[in-house]
Structure 1
Amino acid sequence: MHTAAVNLSASAADPDPDPDSLHRSVKVSIIITLGVMITVGNVAVLLVITSSVAGWSRSSRYFLLSLTAADSAFGLLVMPLNLWVSLLKDYTAGPDVLCHVVAFCNATIYSTCMYTLATISLERYIAVFYPLQYSSLMTRRRTLLLIAFAWCFPPCLLSPISFPDGIIEVHFSTASLVCNPSYSTNVGYSLSLTCLIFFPCSVIMTYANLRVWCAAKRQRLKLRQYDCARRSRHNVASRVLVPVMAAYYTCWTPCMAAMIYNAVSGSSVPEWIEFVVVWLPTSNGFLNCIFYFWINRSFRRKFYLVLQRLTFALCPKLADTFECCNASKTQFVSVLDNNNAVHGRSSSVSSTCTLLSLA
């Protein structure tokens, strides 16, 4: 009896942790970490592209600003809203107005991000294959219209999700900690969303980036024939375009496949698989910072300059410390910049002529 009483008191003092509570804590930690990474990365990007970056046209900056805003919304809007609902909502309660609003915001930002990626691919395609007509094709008005379409069309298309008594039912998923539309009850609407958002954007991105990659590969092969020294150059197209497309399909395809599976079969995927496929597209908001920006040398140089100015503004004493060193290096850097500008212009002319001949 004494032994049994000791064992009972020990088990009462050290109860087994609730598996659901442990899983939920791990999920919340993952979401918060991912949100911080996305926010910090895109804030650094905004500090740079709000000013001029060498080699980037005005239209390119507009599209990249739109992409950065869409990616930032993952960390500043999607994740806080869903975490807020997960803390406040009673899981036994049915759908409510708040869950419908959050689900509408989730779907809108996801769709806007895909449309923005598609417009960037289209803009790069025009810049490579129609360089002489680029200024007339990608005017400021057309650029803003494409950006407005990427931001305004998804809310119009997804507006039925926002109505509590509408045709789309919304529930809070304890597996993914997200307010999700019940696609299984509206198969036709679910499939139409996939056909109007994911597949068109995927086709545009795949076609445009594949054509640019093939043109860059042919250009590289031609340059090898006339200049053996260029054989040691890195394949810039493969280093940028291949990771961009690989990250896009890796992040978005599982989510779309799970949505179609839920709509057709009427059953849900396992808990952790649902969590991964639902939150995986948000990681594309952090990967875009790497593939679209940090690989670019001009962006890195501009970021170091902006960071240096911010450091000197926060700590003026550092400016006095480095003033002597900067003065001694000014002439040397100026000479290097002039030489790089000459080589950059000649390289740009050569690349443009080669791409024109390939096209």
Structure 2
Amino acid sequence: MFTTLNISKSDDYNLSIADSQRLFELTHRSVKVSIIIVLGVMITLGNIAVLLVITSSVAGWSRSSRYFLLSLTAADSAFGLLVMPLNLWVSLLKDYSEGPDALCHVVAFCNATVYSTCMYTLASISLERYIAVFYPLQYSSLLTRRNTLLLIALAWCVPPCLLSPIPFPGAIIEVHFSTASLVCNLSYSTNVGYSLSMTCLIFFPCSIIMTYANLRVWRAAKRQRLKLRKYCGARRRRHDVASRVLVPVMAAYYTCWTPCMAALIYNALSGSSVPEWIEFVVVWLPTSNGFLNCIFYFWINRSFRRKFHLILQRLALALCPKLAKTLGLCTTSRTQIVSGILHNNNSVHERSSSVSSTCTLLSLT
């Protein structure tokens, strides 16, 4: 009888531990899902605002510039509209106790493609900025409409080609669903060579191009700023465009992407995964770059903010004139609106640089 009682107590104790563990896992899962949803909403809303502006002309942004920035906005929007919904759907509706299936392979392919396209697009923008600053007279001939669209096509078509083995179950690539990061990932322990080769073909080339191009532009801007300080005095010290744009862009890029790549290499070489929350953070951290790009590439720019305010005024007046008058959104003088329209349609800027902040780097003199 005592043995029976001991067994029943032991079973109850084990059940309570299992229930507590289950509740703990559900709590962590809910927190992770909430973080992903909030991040996805921020990325989507930020890039919708960007699309409203760059689909029209903005002062200082050439046609090629808008093409590259539209490509970046599309790649960033894919984080919130494709990557996050797919992985949340898989994590909430599928049971992966028996292993991966064809759906997980497709989701992993979409994840890797969007991540890679975003890196290639950032590298293309850095290259375009480099040409605009150091070869302004050859800018129109080097970055013609055809060449610009070709670079954008390469940024979107090369990643699917490199990652083509992933969506096919039973191929050389193994995919599993990670309960730690809620993402369909490659099994890095069994795909060491492929994982490392993709890192060498995608992350490192893009990082080298971005670092070299932005560093050269920053040094050129610094030399110009020193000359202005020498000949114009302290009045020109406020024109520190490079530190205000290029430094945050590169800092955000390496902060968001380096931990993910480091964890990928560690998993591939060691065959073991990092702790649960570290894996969640490093896997989803690159998606936050899709929101930070909206700030560093767009909202810092004065011309962008002016155009966005003008668009908001027009939308408010068109949708709800009475509310717009009540909130004072239509108090802008006619002279300001006309000057803003003329400034945005100025064709002189069509042959300069990618972003108006970059355009001013070598034109301050």
Instruction: Compute the TM-score of the two structures, normalised by the length of structure 2.
Output: 0.86
Write the mapping of 1:82-101 to structure 2, written as runs, cut at 5 A.
Answer: 82-101=87-106
Q: SS where residue 176 of structure 2 aligns?
A: strand
Report what 2:321 is aligned to. 316
- 2:148 and 2:213 mapped to 1: Cα distance? 17
Structure 1 segments (4+ residues) deviating >4 Å: 318-326, 332-342, 351-356
The count of aligned residue pairs is 339
Q: 1:67 aligns with which of 72, 77, 83?
A: 72
Shift of 1:320: 6.5
Q: Is the 8 A contact 2:59 2:345 kept in 1?
A: no
Distance 1:266 1:306, change over 3 A: same
Shift of 1:95: 1.1
- 2:341 and 2:49 mapped to 1: Cα distance? 24
Q: Is the 8 A contact 1:223 1:230 kept in 2?
A: no
Q: SS where residue 171 of structure 1 aligns?
A: strand
Deviations 1:207-239 (A, max 9, x none): 000000000000000011111143441411001
Report what 2:129 is aligned to. 124
Write the mapping of 1:217-236 to structure 2, written as runs, cut at 5 A.
Answer: 217-236=222-241
- 1:104 and 1:336 mapped to 2: Cα distance? 44
Write the mapping of 1:241-320 to structure 2, written as runs, cut at 5 A.
Answer: 241-318=246-323
Report what 1:5 is aligned to. none
Q: SS where residue 177 of structure 2 aligns?
A: strand
The amino acid of 1:89's aligned partner reads K
Q: Is the 8 A contact 2:313 2:330 kept in 1?
A: no
Shift of 1:91: 2.7
Give the share of equivalent positions with the same residue, in percent: 80
Q: Does 1:330 align with 2:334?
A: yes
Would you tell me which structure has more helix in proportion to its own residues?
1
Shift of 1:336: 9.2
Distance 1:323 1:101, change over 3 A: closer
Q: Is the 8 A contact 2:257 2:285 kept in 1?
A: yes
Report what 1:164 is aligned to. 169
Structure 2: stretches of 5+ with no match in the other structure = 1-11, 353-357
Report what 1:24 is aligned to. 29
Structure 1: stretches of 5+ with no match in the other structure = 1-7
Q: SS where residue 55 of structure 1 aligns?
A: coil
Deviations 1:150-204 (A, max 9, x none): 0000001001001101100000000000000112101111110000000000000
Deviates more, 1:88-97 or 1:156-165: 88-97
Report what 2:148 is aligned to. 143
- 2:339 and 2:91 mapped to 1: Cα distance? 58
Higher relative CO (Cα under 8 Å, sequence separation at least 6) belongs to 2
Q: Does 1:78 align with 2:83?
A: yes
The amino acid of 2:88's aligned partner reads L
Shift of 1:316: 2.7
Distance 1:119 1:309, change over 3 A: same
Q: Is the 8 A contact 1:38 1:283 kept in 2?
A: yes
Deviations 1:52-110 (A, max 9, x none): 11110000000000000000000000000000000112131211000000000000000
Q: SS where residue 227 of structure 2 aligns?
A: helix
Shift of 1:330: 2.3
- 2:177 and 2:336 mapped to 1: Cα distance? 61
Deviations 1:288-332 (A, max 9, x none): 000000000000000001111111121033466769844xx3246
The amino acid of 1:200's aligned partner reads P
Distance 1:78 1:340, change over 3 A: closer
Report what 1:3 is aligned to. none
Q: Is the 8 A contact 2:218 2:243 kept in 1?
A: yes
Q: Is the 8 A contact 1:91 1:174 kept in 2?
A: no
Q: SS where residue 179 of structure 1 aligns?
A: strand
Q: Is the 8 A contact 1:251 1:280 kept in 2?
A: yes
Deviations 1:222-261 (A, max 9, x none): 0111111434414110010000000000000000000000
Q: Does 1:155 align with 2:170?
A: no
Instruction: Compute the TM-score of the two structures, normalised by the length of structure 1.
Output: 0.88
Q: Does 1:201 align with 2:206?
A: yes
